[in-house]
A and B are shown apart, each in its own frame.
Chain A
Amino acid sequence: MKFILKIFILTLNFCLLSCGQMRNVNLYEPSKSVSEFEKFPYKILFTGSEENGLWGLKNNTCKSISFETTKNYIGKDHLHINWDASKCNYVAVGLKWSNYKVKNLEPIIESSAIELRVRIDSGEISNVPMFFVLSDYGGKQCRANINYLNLEGGKIDTVWRKILVPLQAFNYKKRGVNMSKVKELRLEFQRTGDIHIDNIVIVQHNHDFHKTNDTSVKAFYSWPVQLGIGREHWWGINTKYSSCFQFGESFTNESVLVDFKKSSIDPQWDMFGFSPYCWKRVDISSIFSTSAIKFKIKADNIPKIQAFIFSYKGDKRRIQKILNDSNFINKENGIYEAFLPLKSFADFQEFRWDELKEIRFKILEEAYFEIGEFQLIEFRGNPKKPTQWKGI
C-alpha cells in the first residue's frame, strides 16, 4: 500500500511539475528567420597567426612582417608590417580566408563590411597607403581603400582604431569580379608605412551611399543640333585684349564678327572656338557619319578659314579642314551658307565622335565677316561636293 502511495505521489509531482513548465504554442509556429549575414559562415579572416592562414610573409628589402605577441587587440598575436614600396613593384599580404574556400559575398554585399583594427607605434596619421583587394576564382580583382568616414576618430594612432571597409566600396562591378566566388583578401601597400593590424572580420554594416549618374556626357541621336548656344561656351572673344573678334548680332544664334588683320597686336590671336554643348563630352557617334556642320557667313567675299574639331579623348584628338568654294552656297545679299560634312575631315575615322569637345576656326587671311548660326544637320551627300546634295 505504501508503495502504491509513493508511486501516486511521484506521478502527481511529475504531472504538476510538467504542467508548470508547459507553454502554449501555435500549431504552425514560423521558424526563426536567419539573416544572410548570420548565415555567412566565413566571418573571420584574421584573429591570430595560428588560427588563420596568410601568404606573402617572407621578408625582403621592401617589407618586414612579424607576428607580435604583445599589445594584441585579440588572440595570441597580431600582424606588424613595415614597408617601403619604392624599390618593389608589389608589396602585399594575402589572407587565405577560411583556407581559400569559395565565399559567396553577393547576399551580404549590401549589409556587410570588412572590419579591422589598426594602430601605430607612435604619433598620429590620418591616412595610410594601404588597399584592400578582393580576388575571385577567375583571377579578377577589385579594390577599396580606407575611407575617412569609416576610420574611427579620423586618425590612426597608438590605440587600436577600428576601420570599416564596406563591401559595396569595392569596385567589383567595374572590374567584373564574381562576388559569389571570392577566393581571398589581399592587403596591398604603397609608398612607405609601419602599421599593426589585428582582428580582420566581416561585420554587419549599413552603407548608405550611392553611385550617381555621369553628367559629363551629352549624347545626340537626331538632327538638327544647335551648336554653341550660350556665349559663355565660346572662347577667343575678349575685346579687352583683341579687337579681331567680337560677338555679332546678325544671326539668331551666337555669331562672331571677325575683323582680322595680319598686323594685329597679337598675330597669334587668329582663332576662336566654342563647345558644341556646354563643354560636355558630346557623343554624336551614332549620327556623325551622316552629319554636317552648317553655318552662315555674312561677308562681301568668302573668307579663307580653317575648321578644327577637337575631342577630349583618343589618339587623334584634332582633325582639320580648310574650307573652299565647294563648301558654300551664295544666298544673295552677302549671306553664304556653309556645309561641312564631318566625313570631309581628314582622318575622321580615327576620331572619337563620342568624345567631341570643341569646334574651332582659324582665320587664314585678312578678312571682315560675321559667322554664326552653327548647327549639326543631316547630310547624306558626297562629302567632297557638299553643296551639290539635293537634301540641303
Chain B
Amino acid sequence: MERNINLLFYLIFNFIYVLTSYSQVSKVEVTTNSSGNFELKRNGVPYYIKGAGAKDHFDLLVNSGANSIRVWSTNNKSLLDSAHKHDLTVTLGLHVRPERSGMDYNDEYAVKGQIEFLKNEVLKYKDHPALLVWGIGNEVDLKYGNFKVWETIEILAKFIKEVDPNHPTMTVIAGVDPSKVFHIKKYCPSIDILGINVYGSIENAGTNLRKFNWDKPYIVSEWGVNGPFEARKTSWKAKIEPPNGLKADQRQRRYKDLIEKDKELCLGSYCFLWGQKQESTATWHGMFLSNGNPTEAVDVMQFCWTGEWPKSRAPSIKDISLENIGWRKDHILTPSTQATLNIEFSKYNNTEVVVEYVLYPEAFSNKIGGDIQKSPDPLKFEILNQTDNELTFVTPNSRGAYRLFAFIKNERGQSSVANIPFLVK
C-alpha cells in the first residue's frame, strides 16, 4: 500500500514537473557585467552560448558540452521541443526572404505579406521554453542592392519588443562590413545583438566590428572552416577542400584564439554545421558524414566546450595526394589509366580503422550563401589495390571532372574524410 502511495506521489510530482517546465518561459536579457563586458543572462544567470547550427544528433551535442542550437526558420516546431527535452536553448530564425531569392523590397504587397506572416510566427513561438534569441533574417545582405530590407528587420524587431519582452533580437549578416554595420545601427535600433556568419573572415571579425563602430554585443552565429566561396579553385573551377584533419585544427584555433577570447562583446557562438549538407562537396561544412557518422570536428568541439577530449577519438586524415602531388595542386589524368592516391592520418587511440574510397562526379554549383545544393550520386570505378594509406585505381573512361573521397572510421563509426578533385582529359 505504502509502495503504491509512493508511486502515486512520484507520478504526480513528475507530471507537475513536466507541466511546469514546459510552460516556463525563460527570461533572457543582454546586460553588462562588473567588468563592463556584455553578457547574456537567462533567468538571471550568465549564459555563454556554446552552440551549434543543428537539427539532430542532440544527445551527442549535449554530451559534447553544448548548451544551444541555432535554427534558421520557424518551419519545424518539433526541433524546439526536441531541443528543450535535451535542455538546449534555441536561437530561432525568422526567415526573412533575401533579395537573391527573388524578393522585391520595393513591392509593398510582398513586404507586408512577409511581415504579417512572420509576426504570426513570433506569436506562435514567443513563449516556447527553449527560445533564447530571435534571429531575424539570415544573410539578407548577401548580394543585395535594396537597403529597404532593413526596414522589414526593424519592423519585426520592434514588434518582438512589443509582444515578447523576454527574448533579445538579433539579425545575422554574412561577413562584417562598414556599410552593413551602418545600416543596422541607423535603421534597426530595435536589434540588440549582431549575428555574424564568418568563415575565413572570422580572423579579423572582432577587430573589424570595433573599427566599424559596432557598439552592441555580437554572436558568432555561424563559424567553421573557410567556406567553398573562399577556397582556391583548380583550373577547371573545382573547389579545393582541405583534409578534415586540417579543418579540425583550424576550428580549434579559431574557437580558442578568436571566439573565446573576446569577452567584451561576444556572447558566444554557433559552430557550423552540426550535421551534414552539400555545399560544393558533401563534407565541406558538415561535422557529420551523410551516413550520420561523427567526424573529428565533433571531438574538437567537445574540447573547445569542455576543455577535455573524448575518451574515444575519431581518426583524422591530415594529408591526401594523388600521383604524389599534394591536394593543393591541380590533378589532371588521362582516361582509363592507373593512378595512385595516398592519405596520411592520425590514428589516435584506435587499434583498428577502416578506409573506404568513393568516386563522385564534380558537383559544380553557382548557389551562394548556403542555398540548397543537390548531392551527386557516387560512380563505380575499378580498384586495383587498396591499403590503409594507399589506393591504386583506374581512372574513369569518360573525360570530365571528378572528385575522389577517402573515408576512414574506427569501430565506433567516428570518421574522417579527405578528397581530391581531378580532371580526366
- Which residue numbers of A lie inside 8 Å of B, CB to CB? 86-87, 89, 126-127, 143, 147-150, 154, 166, 168-169, 171, 174, 191, 207, 209-216, 232-233, 235-238, 240-242, 266, 268-269, 271, 273, 275, 279-281, 312-313, 357-358
Contact = CB atoms under 8 A, between A and B. Distances in A.
Interface in B219-242: none
A236 B178 CA distance: 9
A271 B210 CA distance: 13
Contacts of B352: none
A171 B104 contact: yes
17 contacts: A86-B372, A89-B374, A148-B113, A150-B113, A169-B110, A171-B104, A213-B106, A215-B147, A215-B148, A216-B146, A233-B182, A235-B212, A235-B213, A240-B210, A273-B178, A275-B178, A279-B178
Given A169-B109, A215-B148, A235-B212, 11 more contacts: A143-B102, A148-B113, A209-B108, A211-B108, A212-B108, A232-B186, A238-B213, A241-B210, A268-B207, A275-B182, A357-B179
B109 A358 contact: no
Interface string B178-205: 1101110110000000000000000010
Given A148-B116, A148-B120, A154-B120, A358 B108 contact: no
Interface in B359-406: 372, 374
Nearest to A166: B109
A86 B375 CA distance: 9
Given A171-B104, A214-B146, A209 B109 contact: yes
Contacts of B145: 216, 281, 312-313
B249 interface: no
Given A126-B121, A235-B211, A216 B113 contact: no
Q: Which of A89, A148, A232, A357 has the most CB of B within 10 A?
A: A148
B334 interface: no
Interface string B113-126: 11011001100000
Nearest to B147: A216
Interface in B62-99: 75
B107 interface: yes
A271 B145 CA distance: 25
B256 interface: no
B112 interface: yes
A147 B109 contact: yes
A238 B182 contact: no
Q: Which of B114, B182, B183 has the most CB of A within 10 A?
A: B182
Given A266-B207, A275-B179, A216 B148 contact: yes
Contacts of A150: 113
Given A236-B211, A238-B211, A148 B114 contact: yes
The 3 closest A-B pairs by CB, nearest first: A209-B109, A148-B117, A147-B113
B210 A149 contact: no
A149 B116 contact: yes
A312 B185 CA distance: 19
Interface of B: 75, 102, 104, 106-110, 112-114, 116-117, 120-121, 143, 145-148, 178-179, 181-183, 185-186, 204, 207, 210-213, 372, 374
Given A143-B102, A147-B110, A216-B145, A86 B374 contact: yes
B178 A235 contact: yes
A269 B211 CA distance: 8
A353 B211 CA distance: 26
Nearest to A209: B109
A302 B210 CA distance: 28
Contacts of A242: 211
Contact of A279 (B104, B110, B183, B207): B183
A24 B185 CA distance: 73
Q: Which of A166, A232, A271 has the most CB of B within 10 A?
A: A232
Contacts of A281: 145
B106 A279 contact: no
A174 B204 CA distance: 39
A215 B108 CA distance: 14
Contacts of B186: 232
Contacts of B207: 266, 268-269
A216 B148 CA distance: 8
Contacts of B113: 147-150
A191 B374 CA distance: 11
A88 B182 CA distance: 41
Nearest to B110: A147
B374 to A, nearest CB: 7
A108 to B, nearest CB: 17
A279 to B, nearest CB: 5
Contact of A210 (B108, B183, B213): B108
Nearest to B74: A126
Contacts of A214: 106, 146
A169 B213 CA distance: 40
Contacts of B121: 126
A275 B147 CA distance: 15
Contacts of B211: 235-236, 238, 241-242, 269, 271
A357 B145 CA distance: 11
A214 B107 CA distance: 10
Contacts of A166: 109
A215 B148 CA distance: 8
A127 B210 contact: no
Nearest to B149: A216
Nearest to A149: B113
A268 B210 CA distance: 12
A149 B179 contact: no
A52 B102 CA distance: 31
Contacts of B181: 235
A361 to B, nearest CB: 13
A301 B182 CA distance: 33
A235 B210 CA distance: 9
A127 B107 contact: no
B112 A149 contact: yes
